[in-house]
Structure 1
């Protein structure tokens, strides 16, 4: 049969299959529940204790401007930003090694070690730090046995202990995006810079870090978003002495049964976190363009 005599296949003659929008249905249902829950929390924040759904009031938001909650907000964002910076700095050499190592078994072993904290419950990780760094923990016992100290050193139940836990739990979230960014940089660029007389430090500073900037930005945003809502780490390693905002929300929603105030703190936490993420992305984009 001549090709010219073959009739074209119309869209009506094509075999019927699942419509593309049906593939988005499971994710849409899940996201729909999240949106409904978020709207309910937003409505609850305008209520009054004892009449949460029957009244509209701004009393909960006025209470947030008291000294206690303002200090908690500032402490939460300060620890989250500092922990993100520390985590990214510590993750850079590990990510660089992971991207440039040629032995497959070493890469798989390193990936297993990095993913292990993500597979382990945060409560177990925090209790591990308690066993190691508590006033009567293994580290203080070892220091006393060696005669380096007479009194136990307070590693935990302060901001330093919370910072340590936040950096450790978020470390894999920083390494993996940065390592993927380093993998996209051709090794020929490093070889060319070395042939032109640049030492290793100049190669890293002027070539690798600028080219991996998107991965570094993504890693810092992931760590910040993960730590700004941290609850288990400050609860266990802070010993209730480090009052991050998630702990105050838990107290209001739980023992105190002040759901409107807890909901208002939740709304403020989400809004401020989104503002910080948006500002960071905007500044990073402007710097990249410049």
Structure 2
């Protein structure tokens, strides 16, 4: 280093942030909070009002839309103890779990291929095939599956017994939810450390062991986020189970609609709250699992760094 450069480096002083800068930052945050507060308060008030209204309807048995009615817990007993309603609840959870597992299992290799394929036209074709269905209505896609699985359809001979049965509903829901499962996995696969799989291969790990001990643990947050999103969308699905189920496969969202049509307001309100409670419970469990995965990853990275 020359004498002039040495003198310049010696004169360079890192100045701490001034109080004026901190005040400016706090002022910007206050402005942002002030802009967000009206919209957030509006959404909170509307959401709480709807929840309270549903609660008021669920604790009654009188078939009326009046806000004031005798308090009764018989509707909740019917929603939680009746064999038909319990069957609807079990079908909703079973379909949600199966669709989540199948969708994430299909989305994972798709996300991997989208980031690893070298030819641009192959990547473009995969992106078009996977994400273009989002631009089409769910009702249209469901009718398309009805044509494929119905009489004269391309899949009628192989899967002829699936239309108006649970396997057909699951197949259509996997197709509907697949793009939403790929998004979180793409971000997780993209953040993989470069050369980690090659290093594992150099150390003698087989492809299965690389998948089990390296790839899956590093992309676990994306898997959890993908499963969380797919399950939430599946348990609240209405159009696809209604069309593909043909009245033989009934889920909670469909049952709520049917009860509203029959003016069974209390039971519809109780089932709507039950669906919301299930979704929130499962999402909270996924959040807890995501935190556990993050802690384990940080612990592992800290141990490797030491």
The TM-score range, normalised by the shorter chain, is 0.7 to 0.9
Q: Which residue of 1 aligns with 2:52?
A: 39
Q: Which stretches in structure 1 are left out of the alignment for 5+ residues?
A: 1-7
Distance 1:200 1:52, change over 3 A: same
Aligned pair partner of 1:179 in 166, 186, 189? 186
**Partners of 1:9 and 1:221 in 2: CA distance:** 43
Aligned pair partner of 1:274 in 276, 280, 300? 280
**Partners of 2:276 and 2:24 in 1: CA distance:** 50
**Partners of 2:200 and 2:24 in 1: CA distance:** 59
Distance 1:66 1:188, change over 3 A: same
Distance 1:45 1:194, change over 3 A: same
**Partners of 1:170 and 1:191 in 2: CA distance:** 32
Q: Which residue of 1 aligns with 2:110?
A: 94
- Does residue 1:50 correspond to 2:57, yes or no? no
TM-score normalized by structure 1? 0.84
Distance 1:99 1:23, change over 3 A: farther
Q: 1:287 offset after TM fit, Å? A: 6.1
Equivalent position SS for 2:267: helix
Aligned pair partner of 2:174 in 167, 179, 184? 167
**Partners of 2:257 and 2:20 in 1: CA distance:** 62
Relative to its length, the structure with more helix (as a share) is 2
Q: Which residue of 2 aligns with 1:21?
A: 33
Q: Which residue of 1 aligns with 2:197?
A: 190
Q: 1:108 offset after TM fit, Å? A: 4.2
The answer on whether the counterparts of 1:100 and 1:183 sit within 8 Å (CA) in structure 2 is no
Q: 1:273 offset after TM fit, Å? A: 2.3
**Partners of 1:13 and 1:237 in 2: CA distance:** 57
Q: Which stretches in structure 2 are left out of the alignment for 5+ residues?
A: 1-18, 297-306
**Partners of 2:23 and 2:107 in 1: CA distance:** 55
**Partners of 1:114 and 1:289 in 2: CA distance:** 32
Equivalent position SS for 2:204: coil
TM-score normalized by structure 2? 0.80
User: What does 1:239-258 correspond to in 2, within 5 Å?
Assistant: 239-254=246-261, 256-258=262-264
**Partners of 1:105 and 1:199 in 2: CA distance:** 31
The answer on whether the counterparts of 1:231 and 1:246 sit within 8 Å (CA) in structure 2 is yes
**Partners of 1:9 and 1:202 in 2: CA distance:** 55
| Aligned-pair Cα RMSD in Å | 2.8
**Partners of 1:180 and 1:9 in 2: CA distance:** 38
**Partners of 2:188 and 2:53 in 1: CA distance:** 39
The answer on whether the counterparts of 2:169 and 2:244 sit within 8 Å (CA) in structure 1 is yes
Q: 1:223 offset after TM fit, Å? A: 0.5
**Partners of 2:205 and 2:75 in 1: CA distance:** 59
The answer on whether the counterparts of 2:165 and 2:245 sit within 8 Å (CA) in structure 1 is yes
Q: 1:110 offset after TM fit, Å? A: 2.9
Q: 1:281 offset after TM fit, Å? A: 3.6
Aligned pair partner of 2:242 in 235, 252, 271? 235
